[in-house]
Amino acid sequence: MEGYKYSKLCWTVLHKKEPICVFGVADQYNGNGCVWLLGTDKMKDVRISIIRESKFYVRKMLAPYKRIENWVYHKNELSIKWLKWCGFTIEEAKIAGVGKTLFHHFYKENKEASWD
């Protein structure tokens, strides 16, 4: 709920009038955007559409920021593959979080905007 509540941009993907994921970007203390996505197992039913639209929405989320970023669980291979396809840089996994498990920091720089 916090991601949704504080997002600058936020969308819900519906399939047959049922929400299957929500995603967006929120401001961070450092001026960057924190991208997030919460999905259900039904995302697999529309995976081709999601892949087709992904880069468009990543560009929209990146537009107001110098950089968008977050962390992804190191065993979430599908998400890591998708992030790479969308042009995100994936860093080496580090121990993070309450459970002290491995996460990859990922980010995408805005190379189109002037930030002088």
Domain that holds residue 26: 2-109
Q: Looking at the domain assignment, is residue 97 inside a domain?
A: yes
pLDDT in tens, 31-68: 899 999 999 999 989 988 989 999 999 999 999 999 99
More confident residue, 30 or 116: 30
* Residue 2 scores a pLDDT above 60: yes
Q: How many separate domains does the chain show?
A: 1
Q: Assess if residue 116 is contained within a domain.
A: no
84 three-state secondary structure: helix
The reported pLDDT for the residue numbered 107 is: 98
Distance CA 73, CA 96 (A): 10
Whether 114 maps to a domain, the answer reads: no
What pLDDT, on the 0 to 100 scale, is given for residue 112?
Answer: 80
CATH number of residue 93's parent domain: 3.40.630.30
Q: Is residue 42 part of a domain?
A: yes
CB 37 within 8 A of CB 23: yes
Provide the pLDDT confidence category of residue 113 given band limits of 50, 70 and 90. low
